[in-house]
Amino acid sequence: MTIRVRFAPSPTGMMHLGNVRTALINFLFAKQKEGTFVLRIEDTDAQRMLDPEAKKILEDLAWLNLTYDEGPIVEGPHAPYFQSQRAHLYEETRRLFEQKHLIYRCFCTEEELAKKRERQIALKLPPRYDRTCMALNEEQIAKNTHNNIPFIWRFKLNHERSVTITDLAHGSITFELSNFSDFPISRQDGSFTFMFANFVDDYLMNITHIFRGEDHLSNTANQAAMFDALNISLPMYWHMPILCNTEGKKLSKRDFGFSLRDLKEAGFLPEAVSNYVGIIGSSFTEEVMSLEELTKAFNFESIHSAGRITYDLEKLKWVNKQWIARCTLEKLLALCRPLLEKEYPQAQYLNDHTLTQLLRIIQTELVTINDVTSLLQFYFVEPTITREDFLACISEQHYTAIKEIITAQSTILAQPADYNNQIKIAAKTQNIPLKELFWFLRLALMGTTHGPSIHELLEMLEYDKAQQRIEKALHILS
């Protein structure tokens, strides 16, 4: 059997982490099993089509490097891959259903359906369509259609049957169709529902495995009923756990990182995002992995049946930090230069060599790419320091000795390695805590007591700038 999986997003204009995980899992499975990864755009609902031609989806998948084998632009033997262009195929299947007496016209209005639901709930009955229109005879149907009364097509479930699906996490799941209601396959405007279009596309495109969120499990019974009605073999399923926030609630727009746009704008790398959503909810010996490594490491034979998994922003940050540390300096330069030039216009005059050296020193401190503007702020903007800043971290009785040490070694400031060694020796000789000496120098050079080593700071700032800042700081202590 040739493995065929699909990612079928709606063009809402925003890929969120749940979408990313679904796309990634399908991608990994197809690559691991040497199958085909299909991208199909579910754009039959005009109200949700906020991304015409699915440009954002295509852009996001390309950014994540999740390449598909069939789909828009790439095309393939089952084109077209936009549902809005496949209406003729849905109509053919609808006619087949009609011939087999699997569907019927429903003329009930929304108001009538709402009243039926309210009545059933009041009687403590499950809200379910009562099949009023299934009892209409041909004469009544002809009269209604002649009078142009709007209708939808409903699928007629066989309440005497059950359908069983195989889920990679849950095993066999059996649905008694008597517990389900006849569902719409079309809308009053003649367009087809998500449920029906999905079924038609899955069987026409020979999809063998369907991986999607746990929240789609209730849809699966109806789709399985349509496969069963046409005596078509069902795909294998995996209804994946829902991503939740730390409070256990389904991840939503209110949670940072819900949308891929959030993460891109915040300076997360595509490698880190794919890596994180690939390992979340599972256990791996190595946690920092490329797509190729994830493809080999992901175990589809042993999947846990957890209903939800927790999205941990701090863990995502950690993964991102590891990927930034792996970046080549050339790549880091390309990522960081636009950010620095936007924040500090003078950065455009820095040559690549100088900027690369600055980035080399702070690379391991970057959690996101955006951190570069704060970590290198001291280089472009001279810090404002007060006497109180020094008093907060340096003992007043050490002021004089620190000033003497700094002044005595000023002649070798242009040789950072020698300068660093000599002030250490001088501090030890005069019994001055080395940390206080370093705190003074860091405050003078960058406005904070934490950061790169003194040796590295002097290399970054260069002699003139470093000397000016140190002399200014000595004057404040006077």
**pLDDT, tens digit, for every residue of 260-272?**
999 999 999 999 9
pLDDT tens digits, 332-364: 999 999 999 999 999 999 999 999 999 999 999
In the predicted model, what is the mean pLDDT of residues 106-131?
A: 92
Q: Would you place residue 49 in the very low, low, confident or very high pLDDT band (cuts 50, 70, 90)?
A: low
Q: At what angle do helices 416-429 and 434-446 cross, to 10 degrees?
A: 140
pLDDT tens digits, 90-116: 999 999 999 999 999 999 999 999 999
In the predicted model, what is the mean pLDDT of residues 42-69?
A: 87
Angle at 149 between CA 144 and CA 154, to 5 degrees: 85
Give how far the C-alpha of residue 369 lies from the chain's centroid of Cα atoms, to the nearest Å: 17
pLDDT tens digits, 156-190: 999 999 999 999 999 999 999 999 999 999 999 99
Is pLDDT above 90 for 207?
A: yes
pLDDT tens digits, 429-450: 999 999 999 999 999 999 999 8
Q: How far apart are CA 37 and CA 114, in angstroms?
A: 41
Those residues whose C-beta lies under 8 Å from the C-beta of residue 355, and which sit 6 or more positions away, are 333, 336, 337, 340, 347
Is pLDDT above 70 for 20?
A: yes
Q: How far apart are CA 289 and CA 329, in angstroms?
A: 20
- For position 251, what pLDDT does the model report? 87
Which domains can be identified in the chain, with CATH numbers?
87-240 (3.40.50.620), 327-370 (no CATH), 382-477 (1.10.10.350)
Do 440 and 402 contact (CB within 8 A), yes or no? yes
Of all residues in the chain, what percent carry a pLDDT higher than 90? 77
Q: How far apart are CA 103 and CA 105, in angstroms?
A: 7
Q: What value does the mean pLDDT of the chain take?
A: 93
- For position 410, what pLDDT does the model report? 87
